[in-house]
């Protein structure tokens, strides 16, 4: 009797109220911020600026797209920034020593996959908290990148922490970064292909359903016979592969291998993923949410840069946006529980 | 079922104390000291020991506060930003020549900064309900940005009395910052060991849900731990401003990593509820000496992060192995 009453009330409430989904709220926020910047600056809505914004978004986007399935399955990797830096340094160093461009890029990507695999194996085999392990890995990889970058000098002890980038100039990379098709830069297509690919995997394949199941409840997934460790190690390795792609993007945009080239990426990428509705506990999230979070973060960054706001303020704004949106999520979630 | 496994099911508290990580840490530290002093005898000289004590006091004070947060099973990674913004506030107040604010007021203002930011963290985590890692990542970015903006250039402090707070020596050889560390350590140790608050911190870390069923005000206690962490970070900020004689926005970048390493190495479980402050104190010494050791052993400075990272990874792997062998309980 009581149960049906509760159910009736619930149905009435649901039918009466228009409930906005999280992604629609993000879309509204994005459009709002976009319009705001278009009003504030006439340069914002120019082709040149949007072009630059999109290219830098691709760099962050590749990482965020790779991080999404990993975080849905309950893992996390904080070492991608240093991983990317190390990869750019290795690519540039090999190219500098006279090795073929494609071979050196291949070795760089192979290295990022290997590091992702090592992360996965250690975390899953020992049952370590992924945040901690990858935090340690971050510092180790940064140091290795610094050491590698100092190989171009004769005396390592003279090298300070800054000023050690290795140039990697090549026509192919320049063309890749600067040409466009239908006025849209080529790298954007790569991001679009990746997004569609991961969307299909998460939405329509058995692997995708298993990823959500693992994040939702790891013990029940084990009881159902899902090989949790195997899948998570696979996801860590895939994220390593995408970090390698992002490293290629980074060297084509900047033309250097630099031990700190990934250091500034950690906060925006994690914020973008978290904005997209992924919880650190796993089991929730979508690729399109991540994409929207990414768009918001890069519009904020680009718009404030256009308005001549100092980089440090931009960090503040990005942090604020993240906290406000995540707080909104939490409040909405609790309300929906109370309803 | 072997003996170790049986023990892991029925937690034997007596046994846990016997097999604590502290002797292992002490032996490791002694081996490190002996090795380095064989390579370079300068390591055990008075000047070297003094500089190590000055260096480790700041990270030490801050990590003692953060231990409380980690014991309840949360993270606080905004410590570095709290430190930087405290240093900016303190230096700014001291350089306002016209007002002539007394030093005690300046110090209280500095501590208030830590209190306020700590309460913001506590509010976001406990009242709003955001995951502590994400919330403090956000405040890390926000306050680091603000700290940068307010310091176009370094704010140099000329006040000699203020400089003494961090630079002075007791009995000519003992740095005062080290005395602060010891005092704060003893105070916090007593709180954690002998008060109701301390026991609640441990029980929340063990199982927050069960603690709530026992009638412990989980949110209130967690809120307090964030405030403790913020205030100790701002104490470190005041001391750093005094030691270096200036306030800057880029102080203590990457401290969150250092401090989490100290806590994990000291045997504080990241999932909360296990570990003691004594282990933290020893690992403060280990990590505080390591830079000095590397320098004296002629290792290039770019390898420093490598050693920090390897220590963190080793510490967590050893922790997991000990849990698996049943020497420690999961809680």
What is the 3 state secondary structure string of chain A? Answer: CHHHHHHHHHHHHHHHCCCCCHHHHHHHHHHHHHHHHHHHCCCCCCHHHHHHHHHHHHHHHHHHHHHHHHHHCCCCCCCHHHHHHHHHHHHHHHHHCCCCHHHHHHHHHHHHHHHHHHHHHHHHHHCCCHHHHHHHHHHHHHHHHHHHHHHHCCCHHHCCCCCCCEECCCHHHHHHHHCEECCEEHHHHHHHHHHHHHHHHHHHCHHHHHHHHHHHCHHHHHHCCCCHHHHHHHHHHHHHHHHHHHHHHHHHHHCEECCCCCHHHHHHHHHHHHHCCCCCCCCCCCHHHHHHHHHHHHHHHHHHHHCCCCHHHHHHHHHHHHHHHHHHHHHHHHHHHHC
- Residues A260, A88: Cα–Cα separation, whole Å: 10
Q: How far is CA A228 from the centre of its chain?
A: 23
What is the residue range of B167's domain?
Answer: 3-325
- pLDDT for A287: 87
Match 């994409």 to its residue by tokens. A291
Does A265 reach chain B within 8 Å, measured CB to CB?
no
Tokens found for residue B130: 């955001």
Of B133, B141, B307, Cβ closest to residue A316: B141
Instruction: Report residue B10's pLDDT band, with 50, 70 and 90 as the boundaries.
Output: very low
Task: Name the minimum distance, in Å, from the CA of A10 to any CA of chain B.
Answer: 25
- Spatial separation of the C-alpha atoms in residues B36 and B41, rounded to whole Å: 8
For chain B, the average pLDDT equals 82
Average pLDDT over residues A72-77: 87
Could you give the maximum distance between any two Cα atoms of chain A, in Å? 84
**How far apart (Å, rounded) are the C-alpha atoms in residues B13 and A104?**
56
Distance, CA of A123 to CA of A118 (rounded, Å): 8
E strand or H helix at B247, and its extent? strand B246-247
A181: phi then psi, degrees, rounded to nearest 5: -125, 125
Please indicate, yes or no, if residue B330 is contained in any of the structural domains. Answer: no
Residues 103-122, chain B, touching A (beta carbon < 8 A): none
**Contacts B308 to A, Cβ<8 Å:** 136, 139
Q: Report which listed range, A13-27, A105-119, B126-140, is most confident.
A: A105-119
* CB pairs A-B closer than 8 Å: 143
Give the whole-angstrom CA distance, residue A135 versus residue A3. Answer: 48
Q: What angle do CA B111, B117, B118 make, to 5 degrees?
A: 85
For the cut 50, the answer to whether the pLDDT of residue B1 exceeds it is: no
Whether B331 is covered by a domain: the verdict is no
| Range B72-106 burial, b when 16+ CB lie within 10 A, else e | bbbbbbbbbbbbbbbbbbbbbbbeeeeeeeebeeb
- Residue from the list A137, A141, A315 with its beta carbon closest to the beta carbon of B141: A315
Q: What is the pLDDT of residue B47?
A: 82
Beta bridge partners of A184: A181
A301 interfaces chain B, CB cutoff of 8 Å:
no
Provide CB contacts within 8 A for A91, sequence distance 6+.
Answer: A104, A105, A107, A108, A168, A247, A248, A251, A257
Would you say how long chain A is, in residues? 339
Closest partner CB to B146 (pick from A274, A316, A323): A316
* Domain membership flag for residue B301: yes
Interface subset of A 158-187, CB within 8 angstroms of B:
159-161
Most confident of A72-76, A188-192, B224-228: B224-228
More confident residue, A159 or A3: A159
Give the pLDDT band of residue A16 (cuts 50, 70, 90): very low
| CATH assignment, A3-338 | 1.10.3470
Interface mutation vs chain B, best among A127, A272, A308, A315, most B CBs within 10 Å: A315
Query: Does residue B239 lie in a domain region?
Result: yes
Give the pTM.
Answer: 0.83
Quote the longest CA-to-CA distance of chain B: 75
**Beta-carbon separation of A140 and B305 below 8 A:** yes
Domain harbouring B63, CATH code:
1.10.3470
Confidence of residue B17 (pLDDT cuts 50, 70, 90): very low
Over 80: is that where the pLDDT of A335 sits? no
Query: Mean pLDDT lowest for which of A12-26, A158-172, A217-231?
Result: A12-26
Q: Where are the beta strands (DSSP E) in B40-199?
A: 155-156, 169-170, 174-175
* A309 in contact with chain B, both atoms CB, cutoff 8 A: no
B137 neighbourhood in chain A, CB within 8 Å: 267, 270-271, 319, 322
Q: Which chain B positions have a beta carbon within 8 Å of A278's beta carbon?
A: none
- Do A319 and B145 count as a contact with CB atoms less than 8 A apart? yes
Note whether B303 contacts A: Cβ–Cβ < 8 A.
yes
Instruction: Respond yes or no on whether ipTM tops 0.85.
Output: no
Cβ-Cβ contacts under 8 Å, A270 against chain B = 137
pLDDT of A28 higher than 60:
yes
Assigned token pair, A17: 């109220």
Tell me whether residues B124 and A150 touch, CB distance under 8 A: no
Question: Which residues lie below 8 Å from residue A232, measured CB to CB, with a gap of 6+?
Answer: A70, A73, A74, A75, A120, A123, A124, A214
Q: Is A327 on the interface with B (CB under 8 A)?
A: yes
Least confident of A42-46, A182-186, B174-178: A42-46
Interface of B with A in 164-203 (CB under 8 A): none
- Residue A12 scores a pLDDT above 50: no
- Split into its structural domains, chain B has a count of 1
Does residue A143 belong to the interface with chain B, where contact is any CB pair within 8 Å? Answer: yes
Burial of B49 (0-12, 13-18, 19+ CB in 10 A): middle
Answer whether A315 touches B (CB < 8 Å): yes
B271 touches chain A (CB under 8 A): yes
Residue A98 has pLDDT above 90, yes or no: no
β pairing state of A184-185 and A180-181: antiparallel
* Predicted confidence band of residue A110 (pLDDT cuts 50, 70, 90): very high
pLDDT at A165 exceeding the cut of 80? no
Q: How far is CA A72 from CA A286, B74, B216, in A?
A: 8, 21, 32
Q: Enumerate the domain spans of chain A.
A: 3-338
Chain A residues in contact with B129 (beta carbon < 8 A): 330, 334
């Amino acid at each position: 009797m009581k149960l049906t009453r509760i159910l009736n009330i619930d149905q009435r409430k649901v039918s009466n109220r228009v409930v906005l989904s999280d992604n629609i709220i993000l879309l509204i926020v994005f459009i709002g911020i976009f319009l705001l910047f278009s009003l504030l600056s006439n340069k914002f809505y120019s082709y040149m600026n949007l072009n630059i914004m999109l290219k830098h978004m691709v760099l962050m986007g590749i990482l965020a797209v790779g991080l999404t399935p990993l975080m849905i399955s309950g893992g996390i990797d904080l070492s991608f920034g240093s991983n990317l830096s190390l990869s750019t340094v290795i690519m540039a160093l090999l190219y500098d020593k006279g090795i073929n461009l494609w071979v050196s890029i291949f070795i760089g990507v192979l290295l990022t996959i290997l590091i992702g695999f090592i992360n996965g194996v250690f975390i899953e085999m020992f049952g370590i908290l992924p945040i901690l392990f990858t935090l340690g890995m971050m510092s180790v990889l940064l140091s290795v990148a610094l050491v590698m970058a100092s190989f171009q000098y004769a005396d390592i002890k003279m090298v300070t922490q800054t000023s050690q980038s290795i140039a990697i100039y090549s026509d192919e990379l320049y063309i890749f970064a600067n040409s466009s098709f239908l006025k849209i830069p080529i790298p954007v297509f790569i991001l679009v292909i990746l997004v569609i690919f991961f969307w299909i995997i998460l939405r329509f394949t058995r692997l995708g359903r298993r990823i959500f199941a693992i994040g939702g409840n790891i013990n029940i997934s084990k009881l159902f016979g899902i090989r949790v460790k195997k899948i998570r190690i696979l996801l860590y390795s895939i994220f390593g592969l995408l970090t390698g792609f992002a490293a290629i993007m980074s060297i084509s945009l900047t033309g250097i291998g630099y031990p700190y080239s990934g250091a500034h990426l950690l906060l925006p990428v994690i914020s973008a993923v978290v904005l997209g509705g992924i919880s650190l506990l796993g089991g929730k999230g979508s690729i399109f949410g991540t994409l929207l979070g990414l768009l918001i973060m890069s519009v904020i960054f680009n718009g404030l840069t256009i308005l001549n706001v100092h980089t440090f303020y931009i960090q503040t704004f990005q942090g604020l946006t993240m906290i406000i949106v995540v707080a909104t999520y939490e409040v909405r979630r609790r309300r929906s529980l109370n309803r | 079922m072997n003996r170790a496994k049986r023990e892991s099911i029925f937690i034997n508290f007596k046994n846990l104390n016997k097999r604590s990580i502290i002797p292992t840490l002490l032996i490791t530290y002694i081996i490190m000291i002996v090795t380095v002093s064989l390579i370079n005898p300068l390591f055990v000289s008075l000047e070297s020991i003094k500089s190590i004590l000055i260096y480790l006091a700041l990270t030490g004070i801050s990590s003692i506060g953060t231990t409380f947060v980690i014991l309840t099973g949360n993270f606080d990674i905004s410590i570095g930003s709290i430190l930087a913004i405290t240093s900016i506030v303190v230096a700014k107040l001291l350089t306002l020549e016209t007002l002539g604010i007394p030093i005690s007021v300046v110090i209280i203002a500095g501590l208030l900064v830590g209190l306020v930011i700590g309460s913001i963290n506590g509010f976001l985590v406990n009242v709003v309900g955001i995951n502590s890692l994400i919330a403090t990542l956000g405040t890390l970015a926000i306050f680091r940005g603000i700290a940068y903006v307010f310091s176009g250039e370094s704010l140099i402090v000329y006040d000699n009395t203020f400089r003494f707070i961090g630079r002075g020596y007791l009995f000519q050889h003992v740095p005062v910052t080290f005395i602060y560390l010891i005092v704060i350590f003893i105070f916090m140790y007593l709180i954690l060991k002998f008060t109701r608050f301390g026991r609640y911190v441990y029980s929340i870390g063990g199982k927050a849900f069960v603690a709530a069923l026992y009638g412990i005000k989980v949110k209130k206690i967690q809120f307090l731990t964030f405030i403790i962490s913020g205030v100790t970070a701002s104490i470190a900020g005041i001391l750093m401003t005094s030691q270096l004689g200036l306030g800057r926005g880029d102080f203590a970048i990457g401290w969150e990593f250092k401090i989490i390493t100290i806590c994990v190495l000291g045997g504080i479980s990241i999932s909360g509820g296990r570990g003691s402050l004594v282990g933290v104190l020893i690992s403060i010494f280990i990590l505080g000496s390591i830079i000095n050791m590397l320098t004296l052993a002629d290792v290039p400075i770019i390898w420093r992060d490598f050693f920090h990272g390897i220590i963190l990874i080793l510490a967590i792997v050893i922790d997991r192995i000990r849990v698996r062998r049943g020497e420690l309980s999961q809680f």
